[in-house]
Chain A
Amino acid sequence: MTAAKDFTLAELIVVAAAEAWRHDGELLAVGIGPLPRLGVSLAKLTFAPGLMLTDGEAMAVEDPVPLGPRGDYKPRYSGWMPYGRVFDSVWSGRRHAMVTPVQVDRFGQGNISALGPFEKPKVQMLGVRGFPGNSINHKNSMFLPNHSKRTFIEGEVDVVASVGFSPKRWQEGMDRSKIEIGMIVTDLCVFDFNGPDHAAQVLSLHPGVTFEQVQAATGFPLLQSSAITTTAAPTEEQLAIIRRLDPHNIRATVLKGNPPGVRTAA
């Protein structure tokens, strides 16, 4: 396991994202978007062989499908996973997705529905899609490519699509025990909502990033985990797998300017 010297921030994020699924055992694992998808594929191939993946449509695969045009590559199917079974997996809790909300708040709530008033949005986005059902039933991690106060906002998200720990949203008798927010991976750090009373706490800072810098880019208070560390650099072995899974280098297009993995002081 040789730590690489030369890697991009996108590659660092893929390796950090993979960690979200480390202890999941066997379940349907989904990374939505290129970096989360590479992350879940890397996890499956290196330390989490129990994960079940799909071809991005309706078939289960054991070998992760590379991103983009496939050329001669033909996926081999191990099972069937149409949307009907996806919902069954969601509702039974046997799924862990990494998703990208546009807004996230201090309660861990996420918004992909709309910005501004719901009745007449300033910006219509995707709608709530499967977020309400996913978030009340199974573990969800998040990837946000642009850590700022516009994404990690000060108040509550404009539309609560994925649920969280805001007390006013819950009545007595409703079961909140199945809500589980996993890792939040951003372009600055990795954090979770597992501090006291579900407070946000930073687990690791990307190389060259300070805690103060992350706090200044976040609309709500952050704690530092007692074990706070620097996000691990990819190994050469991990980079080789990532290159094989992303032969068209789609990962280079995710973050503006495709920055290097180690920030140097400005």
Chain B
Amino acid sequence: MAKSEAEVAQGPTVTAAGDGKGTAAHPLPDADTCRELLETMALIRRFEEEAGRQYQQAKAGGFLHLAIGEEATIVGTTSVMRPDDYLIGTYRTHGHAIARGTDPKNVMAELFGREDGCSRGRGGSMHIFDPERRFMGGYGIVGGNLPIAAGLGLASDYKGEDSVTVGMFGDGASNSGNFGETMNLAALWKLPVVFLVENNLYGMGTAIERHSAVTDLSRKAEGLGVPGVRVDGMDVLAVREIVSEHIRRAREDRQPTLVEAFTYRFRGHSAADPEVYRTKEEVEEWRKKDPITVFRDRLVAEGVISDEAVDEIRERVEKRVLEAVEFADASPEPPLESLYDHLYVVGDQVPGWYAVDERTPEPHRGEEEWEIGAAGEARKLAEAGAAYAGRQSSRGRGPEQTMDDRDAADALEDRDEDEPEEGPG
């Protein structure tokens, strides 16, 4: 159900921090802060564009969810958080980590699945993580991060610390059972959490009117004890003002709240999205509210920043992003022998079989008696990933056949079971 232009136009109007005045209503912070906000948003934008391009070139695999258009919600929020506050997000969090200070190099390397990725290629685009900056993760399960946010808040409370957790999630997650459960628990236990719903109007390809009976998400947790407020998520200053007040309420009043930030992703849900569910006109309408260009134009118009300074920002972020790509490209792929790393913390417990292939020097007992050919990459892969596939594997490999002639890629590929492998050995 495509929205009419009138509906689209109406969206942000009602969301502008509730005062209907839009950006101009928010006085500018000092010049340095303004420049920093602009540069961080620009860095995220440029990073995401480049990530999209690298994905097209198959440098990054899996799904890629870009936050282009949502930068003001991200940066407005992180810019009013303390270093000891926790941030936890969704599967669209390259920008959140970067805004918290994670080096774009490590984020890009994670997208590339490389050794220097922030999760060393274990998590990928959907699971960015940087505990040093208390960015407690991107999460691939819609709504799965909500109770974890409550848990982070509980830990602050339990330890008598005044750190606050900001738990960000999408409009689609407001329909998950976790949403209701977590709001109730957070309110019941007075946890210092700001729940921030990045309402980009679509749960994947389903418009909010089609997925949520109550479309005013700021009110959706009221009955569970969590009051909410709406904010124009395309306006970095509006987000700063509202989130900063709600962080204060969490920190000082121990009142969890729900902030609904209206935002919009200019790109599809993921890089593999044909976008049949919305019109080009709608996207164009929102592009007029581009959080970066609108803010930049205002800074230039009010003389806070010169055109030259804008160019310098552009050059700096360009350089950082290209360096990130270069860094990620140069980073090695994780070695096969690292496959089981960090599956368990192996302490002073007696050795048992934690995982297949993990706790015994001879995963294939008696294997030496078998003729399975020379040790090649294929065998290494097979052993690393399917330690007990055994001699009669699911691929139907006969006892006489060897693996000599199969290269690494071949060994990982699914084979058509009906298609006989090479003739009988």
Report whether chain A binds chain B: no
- Write the residues of chain A forming the contact surface with B, with a CB cutoff of 8 angstroms: none
- Write the residues of chain B forming the contact surface with A, with a CB cutoff of 8 angstroms: none
